[in-house]
C-alpha cells in the first residue's frame, strides 16, 4: 500500500490500526477560493527510490504511485519472473481517472506556448493502461496485460478479473490492484460542483465521517494498492508466503443512474450475493465487511440497506468499517488498498475502525467499529466497491489454512 498514511504497507497499516486521520489542507495546489480545500495527500513519497529521474517525466503521478506499489509488492512476494515463466505472469491495474494532472498541465502549455511544446510523452503519461504497461516492462511480465476503468470500483474489478484469469488457466500469477492521483484544481472543482466533497475545511481530520449523521461528502485521497495473487499450487511449489486466499468475486450494474445508486440498494446487494455464490459460502460465514463507506449522505445509507438485504439478522453481527474515514476516498485505488486491508485484518486478527462516527445516522444502525480498532478472530472478510455509472464490485478473502 501507498496511502496518505505513508509509503509502504507497514506505515499505512499502523496508521489505520491507530485510527489516525491523514487529511489536511491541500498542498498540491493553492486551494484558496475553492469550497473544498482539504484532501488526503501522500506526503512521504520519495520517487527517486523507485523510478529513475529520466523516466519520471514519462509518467504522471498515478503511474509513479502504482509502479512503486507494484515494486514493493513484488519484493514482498519473492516472485521471480524468468524467461521460463514470463508469459504466465500478467498485470491488471485499474484507475478511475488516470493522468488528470498532466492533462491540466499540458492544456495550459498548449494554450500558452503552442502545440510544439506538448511533450511526446503526454499521451503515454496520461492513459490508464500505462500503469500496467510500466509494471510489465519493469518486471518482464509477458502474460495477460490489461487495465480497468470502472470509476471507484476499478481496483476491485482489477483484482477480480485477475482472479478469473488464473482460475481459467490464462496465468499462474497476476500483479493487480488500483492507483489514483487526481488531487488537482479541476479534479477538486469537478467533484465539488457535484456536491460530492466535504467542505469541512476547518476540521480536516474530522471531515470524512462515514455513517455519521453530520457527514457532508467524501474527502479526495490518492495512493495505490497492489497485490500479487497466484494459483495455489504455483505458490506452494515456490514456497511463497501465503497471506490469505481469494475465494469469491462478484460484479454487476445498478442500471439506474450515472452517479447515484438505487435507493433500495438492490444492485449492491446482488453484487454481494454473487460474490458469496462464487465463493460457495453462506452469508453467515462473513465476519467483516470493509465497506465502500465514502461518507456521502445517500451512499452510506444505501450500502447499509444492501448489507441488511444480503445478511438479514446476521448483518447486526458483522463488523463493518470504512477505512476511508482515515485516508479519504482513493477513487480507482480504493479497492486495491481495501483488499490489502482485508488481507492484513485476517493475518493480524484485528479490524480497523471507522473514526469520526460520533452520531450514527438514523438509517445506519450496524456495528461500524467506531473510533478504535477491534481484535477479532477473523477468517473471512468481504470488500465492497461501488462506482459511478452504477458499476459494483465485491471480493471475498479467507484465511488460508494449509491442508
Which residues are identified as catalytic? 152, 292, 329
Cell numbers found for residue 286: 462473513
Cell numbers found for residue 382: 468481504
Cell numbers found for residue 197: 466533497
Helix boundaries (H) for 194-237:
232-237
Any idea which residue has 487495465 for its cell? Answer: 147
Residues 6+ apart with CB under 8 A from 277: 248, 250
Contact (Cβ atoms closer than 8 angstroms) between residue 234 and residue 172: yes
Residues 6+ apart with CB under 8 A from 80: none
Separation of alpha carbons 221 and 112, rounded Å: 30
> Up-side HSE of residue 121: CA atoms within 13 Å toward CB?
12
Contact (Cβ atoms closer than 8 angstroms) between residue 140 and residue 81: yes
Contact (Cβ atoms closer than 8 angstroms) between residue 292 and residue 154: no
Amino acid at each position: 500500500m501507498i496511502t496518505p498514511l505513508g509509503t509502504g504497507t507497514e506505515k499505512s497499516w499502523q496508521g489505520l490500526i491507530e485510527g489516525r486521520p491523514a487529511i489536511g489542507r491541500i498542498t498540491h495546489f493553492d486551494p484558496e477560493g475553492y469550497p473544498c480545500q482539504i484532501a488526503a495527500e501522500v506526503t512521504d513519497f520519495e520517487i527517486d527510490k523507485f523510478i529513475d529521474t529520466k523516466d519520471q517525466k514519462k509518467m504522471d503521478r498515478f503511474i509513479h504511485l502504482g509502479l512503486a506499489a507494484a515494486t514493493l509488492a513484488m519484493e514482498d512476494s519473492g516472485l521471480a519472473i524468468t524467461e521460463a515463466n514470463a508469459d504466465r505472469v500478467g498485470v491488471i491495474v485499474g484507475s478511475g481517472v488516470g493522468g488528470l494532472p498532466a492533462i491540466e498541465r499540458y492544456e495550459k502549455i498548449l494554450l500558452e506556448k503552442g502545440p510544439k511544446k506538448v511533450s511526446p510523452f503526454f499521451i503515454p503519461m496520461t492513459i490508464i493502461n500505462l500503469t500496467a504497461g510500466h509494471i510489465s516492462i519493469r518486471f518482464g511480465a509477458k502474460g495477460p496485460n490489461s487495465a480497468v476503468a470502472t470509476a471507484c470500483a476499478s481496483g476491485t474489478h482489477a483484482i477480480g478479473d485477475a482472479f478469473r484469469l488464473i482460475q481459467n488457466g490464462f496465468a499462474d500469477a497476476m500483479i493487480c490492484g488500483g492507483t489514483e492521483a487526481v488531487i488537482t484544481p479541476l479534479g477538486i472543482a469537478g467533484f465539488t460542483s457535484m456536491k460530492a466533497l466535504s467542505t469541512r475545511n476547518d476540521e480536516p481530520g474530522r471531515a470524512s465521517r462515514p455513517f455519521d449523521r453530520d457527514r457532508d461528502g467524501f474527502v479526495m485521497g490518492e495512493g495505490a494498492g497492489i497485490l500479487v495473487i497466484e494459483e495455489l499450487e504455483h505458490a506452494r511449489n515456490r514456497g511463497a508466503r501465503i497471506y490469505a486466499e481469494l475465494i469469491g468475486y462478484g460484479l454487476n450494474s445498478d442500471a439506474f443512474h450515472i452517479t447515484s445508486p438505487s435507493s433500495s440498494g438492490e444492485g449492491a446487494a446482488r453484487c454481494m450475493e454473487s460474490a458469496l455464490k462464487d465463493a460457495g459460502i453462506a452469508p453467515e460465514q462473513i465476519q467483516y465487511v470493509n465497506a465502500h463507506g465514502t461518507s456521502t449522505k445517500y451512499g452510506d445509507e444505501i450500502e447499509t440497506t444492501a448489507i441488511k438485504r444480503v445478511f438479514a439478522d446476521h448483518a447486526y453481527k458483522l463488523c463493518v468499517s470504512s477505512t476511508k474515514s482515515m485516508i479519504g476516498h482513493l477513487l480507482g485505488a480504493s479497492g486495491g488498498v481495501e483488499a490489502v486491508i482485508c488481507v492484513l485484518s485476517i493475518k493480524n486478527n484485528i479490524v480497523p475502525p471507522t473514526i469520526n462516527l460520533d452520531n450514527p445516522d438514523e438509517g445506519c444502525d450496524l456495528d461500524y467499529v467506531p473510533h478504535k480498532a477491534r481484535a477479532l478472530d477473523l477468517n473471512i472478510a468481504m470488500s465492497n466497491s461501488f462506482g459511478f455509472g452504477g458499476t459494483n464490485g465485491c471480493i471475498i478473502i479467507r484465511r488460508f489454512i494449509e491442508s
